[in-house]
Structure formats: C-alpha cells, structure tokens
C-alpha cells in the first residue's frame, strides 16, 4: 500500500536548525528543519546502488543536495545533521553492519557523512528512529515500553524499554524472522524443517503473494486483498486471517518476553486501520494467557516518521544531549 | 531435578554486612552475608501459605529468623536486607502484583519487611535477581544483553538489555507462556485453538508428564527421561527432542526481537548440561536465519543464585547505589 498523505506534525521550537536525511533502498529524502519546527525544501532523489561505490555515491548525492539547500535557503544554518539508514545498524559505533538493499557491509557511515557535510552527524537506524518519532510526537507520546511494528514489503520492528531503544549492536528488532505458530495456518507449518517466519505470512508483500498463489489471480498488493475480503472473497478472507493471526502470535511473543505496554502498528499495512487491529485483537484473545495485554495503536506520522526522527536526533546532538 | 551441590562463590569484599532473604513458594532462605563476602548462618524454613495471612506469616517468620541470627552472630550488624519473591513483581513500587503459589495480589512487600526488620530493604524478583547474580558473579560475567532461562517445574526468564533487567512493571520474562512453533511436534500444534506454550512442552515437569502420557510409564522426573533417552528409549528421545526444539524456537524469538548476546540456561533442567545445550544448538541451526546467534551457556551459581543476588542488591542499597 502507498503512503497515505498525513499532515506533517509540528516538531516544535528548538534553538537550532538542522538537516534531516533518510537514506532508503529506493530513495533518499533530505530536508532542512527550521528552529520553529517547519520542514523546508524537502527533496527526494533516487538511491543509486552501484556495488562498492554505493556509499560514496550516496554521500556525494546528499552533500550535493545539502549544498543546494544552503544556496536556496541561505539564512538557515543547520547546526547538525541527522542521517538514518536501513539494515543492521550499530548507532554507537556509527556503522552500518549490513544493509541488503544497499549492499553495505560494515560501512562507517557516520564518519563519511561528517566529513562530507562538515557537520556533526547524529546517526541512526531507520525503523528505530521512526519509532522514536512516533513515541515523541506521534501516536505513542509518553509511552516507555513499546514495540513499533512496521509492516510493508517486509516486517521490521523497534523495541523500546523504559523509553530507550533496544539496539544489541544493531541486531534487535528483526521480528520479520520470528517463526510463528498458529493453528489457523497449520497447513503452512506442516512441511518445512521449521515453522514459517512472520514476514512469510504477514507482510504486505506476503499477503499479496499468498493470495495470488491460493486464488490463481494476480493482485496489485495487500490493499486489493483487503478490498476483496471486504467484498466477500473467501480466499482473501483466509489469507488476511492467517496474516493477522501470525501478527498476534508475534505480539504475544513480545508480551511474554518484554511485556510492552503498547504495540504501535506502522508501515503500509497499518493503513488498513481497524481492519488490521480488530482481527489481531480477536487472535490475541486466544494467544494470551497471563501476560500483560498490550494496547494496539496505529502510527500517525506516516512515511515521514523517519525523516522527522532524523531531525529530532540532529536537534538533540546540536543541543549537546546524549544520543545513541 | 534436584539442585546439584555447587561451591558457593565468593561475593567479594564490601564495606557492609547484609541480610539476604529469598522467599519461595516452598521455603524461605535467610542468611547473613559478612563484609568479607562469606555467607553465614544460612537457614531454610517452610513457607506457610494461609490465605490472606500469608504475607504477615512470611514477614513474621523472617523477622524471627533475623532476630535469631542477630543473637547467634552478635558482631555482624547488617546495614540493609535484600528480599526477593516470585511472581509478577514491580520492583520500583516495592509491590508483588501477583504470586500464584503464595496467593498474593498487590502486596506492598517492601514496606512490610522494612517495618518488621527495621532495615532498609532492597526488593526484587526472584528470577531477575538470580539472573543478575549470574551476570555479576557467575557464568555471564560482563555480558550486557542476555536472557536467563530458568527451566524447572515451570519456565521463567529474566531479560537484560544493556546490563539492566527489563521489568515492564513486573510483566517481563514470562516466556513460559510464549507459544512455540516447530514441525517436530506439529502433532501437538494440530488441535487446540492456539499452539502450545513453551512451558507445556519444555519444562522439566512437562518432559516427565509427556513421557508418562506417551509411554504409559511413570517416571520420577525429567532426569529419568534423560537417563532413558541415553539408554536408547525412543519415546524419551522424542519427548526430549520436542522440548529442546521448543526451547530453540523461543530462543530464536528472542534473537529476532532483542538479540541477546547470551542465553544463560538455569534451573533443574540445566543440570543436563551438554545433553540440553547440544540439541538446542542443532535446532537453532534450523530456526535462525539472519538473526545474531546467541551463545548458550550454563548457569554456575545453582539454587543459591537468588540468595546471592539478594545479598548483592542489599549491598548496593547499603552503599547508596541506585537499585531497582
């Protein structure tokens, strides 16, 4: 599902203007954030992946765009930049350990951006940073123990304990790989050496793919599967039920292990709103025993949560606050 | 399996002597810990559960034993007490939210012990405190991100992120309730409304019970199932394989979500040593994909880990360190 247009929230006042950068596998977003909280000059440029030169190309592209922003808005002088990237990200070391889409292995991203931008750089992981923005300005304001579940082509998450993200050298949050158990798709459990992963059952991509496999009909994406379910299609209904059951199973795993107060559903599939929340709630009735039942809420910041979080990290760095 | 006798580790020197108390569903352990680290006058008294009077009875019993210790060792003057209890424990509030074995609901344990002992009390959860002792003095020394899995009659855990326990108002660590997915016991997955819980497949109690159900022969406990497996019994082998597969599945859930560096196996079943570790490692080969593979290690402090952790908490409190 495409990003739905959501109103850009106010970031509030801050003593410093900053540069916010969100490097994705498809495109790079870059913007200035004024000290009054407004996002200025937002531009998207495609991410050019060219093997070992990818990092240099990305850094060069960002530096060029930053220079153009400085020309376009000469009165805004950013005090720091926020840079977020996907994959396995070790914020503390400033290193992207691994990013499949970008073919990065142990790249010292922070240092390269600092050199190219001549600015202090707050470096972060895309999902954790977007999640942090939702907890600071979006749907989860004030929540200390939360898991943000981003459901799109794949599934990723950010886990927050006592207000801080769990990092574990960048390896935390890979719940797309968690194997899921549920009798609603026991057929899927029956064959392979291990149960299916959450991503194989419940990502937006999996929903579209599994519907096509089971119905013999191609669909544009998970949005169309949802529309068909609402129109009474039993195959769509089964695939959606399996997906929401798998999500409930993984949420129950979190409830047992770390007991988040809130599960924040984000990414394209979260645009399904109550059509996503309600079946997960029903499956949780069966999944949970004595665990604390988490509250399910929907993300509010849409596709710019990462960029906003990147700006918040840069502001914190500029203000001298400790930031991982 | 019974506790194996393990040599008591040295707690090391500290400026203060303390009182260490471990309240369990079956018995209460109480001891003095001298400033040179030696554990003195250890005594066990049965826990008397008598409905609404249970808290008062437990507190009274502990106060009586503490008084006797003061008479027996008049030169040792504890500066603080550590008190740990089972169940859902909110350390920050000093409250036991719920303990099934003791029939406790929202009991302000810390305040009652402080009044009865006339000492500052460091209050904690039995599993988190025992886990903390293993990370400070036992098998996991120096590890920052860990999950301690205690496998006995039931299964409980303590999760540590960046050196601190995850509490979530006392609800974290209930992994015995996590549902497990594995084709090695797909038969068990086939029927109920949800997959089985870890505790139903992999606790020492479940191993003995499931062996009896499947073989028609009663056994003393999981130790006997292990012995029968080593003697070539195919039913014992299947039950053990299912249990270790379920444990690997839950460990893989943790690897995806919080990526602990270490899984510390504790409790009676951990006395099986490599007979427990090796099959879990084999199942992890199948369970894990891109997650960080945790190192499996065996607990070292045995059944007194809780008492030792209780002493460490009391020492920290006496020294004015912040302690949850």
Residue B168 belongs to a domain: yes
Q: What phi, psi does B21 have (nearest 5°)?
A: -135, 130
Assess whether B208 and B91 both reside in one domain: no
Q: How far is CA A2 from CA A6, A230, B237, in A?
A: 12, 19, 51
- Does residue B216 belong to the interface with chain A, where contact is any CB pair within 8 Å? no
| Beta carbons of B177 and A256 less than 8 Å apart | yes
Same domain (yes/no): A114, A172: no
* Same domain assignment for residues A75 and A196: no
pLDDT for A250 beyond 90: yes
**Closest chain A CA to residue B196:** A181
Cα torsion through B92, B94, B98, B104, rounded to 10: 180
What are B18's strand-pairing partners? Answer: B33
Q: Containing H/E element for B265? A: strand B262-266
8 A C-beta contact, residue A145 and residue A259: yes
Outline where chain A has alpha helix (H).
54-72, 109-117, 126-137, 186-189, 198-202, 204-215, 222-230, 234-257, 274-287, 305-318
Question: ipTM score of the complex?
Answer: 0.90
The confidence band for B1, taking pLDDT boundaries of 50, 70 and 90, is very low
Task: Give the minimum alpha-carbon distance from B205 to chain A in angstroms, rounded to a whole number.
Answer: 19
Choice between A57 and B140, residue whose per-residue pLDDT is larger: A57
Q: Mean pLDDT over residues A170-197, rounded? A: 72
Q: Which of B323, B173, B171, B144 is nearest to A167 (CA)?
A: B144
Q: How many domains does chain A have?
A: 2
Share of chain B above pLDDT 70, in %: 93
Nearest to A179 by CA among B149, B159, B161, B286: B286
Res. B140 pLDDT band, cuts 50 70 90: confident
Band the pLDDT of B7: cuts 50, 70, 90: low
What pLDDT, on a 0 to 100 scale, did the predictor assign at position B188? 40
Confidence of residue A8 (pLDDT cuts 50, 70, 90): low
Buried b (16+ CB within 10 A) or exposed e, B61-82: bbbebbeebeeeeeebebbbbb
Whether residues A148 and A295 fall in one domain? yes
Looking at the structure, tell me whether residues A146 and A291 fall in a common domain: yes
pLDDT at B11: 86
Residues A292 and A308 in one domain: no
CB neighbours of residue B159 within 10 Å: 28
- B contact residues 95-154, partner A, Cβ 8 Å cutoff: 145, 147
Partner residue facing A257 (CB), from B164, B175, B288: B175
* CA separation for the pair A276, A225 (Å, rounded): 12
With respect to residue A7, please indicate whether it lies within any of the assigned structural domains: no
- Mean pLDDT value across chain A: 91
pLDDT digits (tens, 9 = 90+) for A117-135: 999 999 999 999 999 999 9
Q: Which of B168, B194, B288 sits opposite A258 (nearest CB)?
A: B168
CB contacts of A180 in chain B (<8 Å) are 181
- B147 pLDDT above the threshold of 80: yes
Domain with residue A126: its CATH number is 3.30.420.40
CB-nearest to B290 from A145, A168, A174 is: A174
- pLDDT, tens digit, 9 for 90 and up, residues B153-185: 899 999 999 999 999 999 999 999 999 876 554
Distances from the Cα of B175 to the Cαs of A254, A258, A302, B46, B253, in angstroms?
Answer: 9, 9, 33, 28, 10
pLDDT tier at A187, thresholds 50, 70, 90: very low
Does A175 share its domain with A98? no
More confident residue, B13 or B83: B83
Query: In the prediction, which pLDDT does A186 show?
Result: 45
d(CA B181, CA B168): 25
Average pLDDT over residues B276-293: 94
Q: Give me the domain span that covers residue A264.
A: 141-299
Q: Are residues B105 and B150 in the same domain?
A: no
Tell me: do B164 and B295 sit in the same domain. Answer: yes
User: Is the Cβ pair B290, A175 closer than 8 Å?
Assistant: no
Better pLDDT: B293 or B8: B293
Q: Is position B187 within any domain?
A: yes
Residue B301 pLDDT > 50: yes
Q: Which of B181, B200, B251, B252 to mutate to test the interface with A (most CBs of A within 10 A)?
A: B181
Please give the structure tokens belonging to residue B85: 């209890």
Q: What percent of chain A has pLDDT over 90?
A: 81
């Amino acid at each position: 599902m495409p990003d739905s247009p959501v109103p850009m929230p106010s970031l509030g006042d801050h003593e410093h203007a900053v540069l916010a950068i969100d490097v994705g596998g498809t495109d790079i977003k870059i913007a200035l954030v004024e000290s009054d909280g407004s996002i200025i000059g937002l531009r998207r440029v495609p991410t050019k992946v060219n093997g070992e030169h990818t990092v240099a190309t990305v850094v060069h592209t960002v530096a060029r765009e930053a220079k153009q922003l400085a020309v376009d808005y000469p009165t805004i002088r950013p005090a720091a930049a926020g840079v977020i990237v996907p994959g396995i990200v070790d914020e503390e070391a400033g290193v992207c350990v691994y990013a499949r889409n970008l073919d990065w292995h142990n790249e010292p991203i922070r240092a390269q951006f600092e050199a190219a931008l001549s600015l202090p750089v707050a470096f972060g992981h895309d999902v954790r940073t977007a999640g942090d923005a939702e907890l600071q300005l979006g749907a989860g304001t004030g929540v200390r123990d939360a898991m943000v579940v981003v459901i799109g082509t794949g599934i990723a998450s950010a886990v927050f304990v006592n207000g801080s993200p769990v990092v574990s050298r960048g390896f935390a949050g890979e719940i797309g790989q968690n194997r899921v158990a549920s009798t609603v798709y026991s057929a899927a459990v029956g064959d392979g050496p291990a149960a299916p992963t959450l991503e194989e059952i419940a990502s937006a991509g999996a929903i579209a793919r599994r519907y096509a496999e089971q119905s013999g009909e191609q669909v544009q994406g998970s949005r169309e599967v949802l529309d068909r379910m609402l129109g009474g299609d039993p195959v769509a209904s089964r695939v959606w039920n399996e997906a929401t059951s798998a999500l409930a199973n993984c949420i129950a795993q979190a409830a047992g292990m770390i007991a988040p107060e809130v599960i924040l559903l984000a990414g394209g599939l979260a645009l399904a709103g109550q059509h996503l929340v309600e079946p997960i709630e029903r499956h949780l009735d069966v999944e949970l025993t004595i665990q604390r039942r988490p509250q399910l809420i929907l993300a509010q910041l849409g596709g710019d949560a990462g960029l906003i979080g990147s700006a918040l990290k840069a502001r914190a760095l500029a203000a001298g606050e400790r930031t991982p």
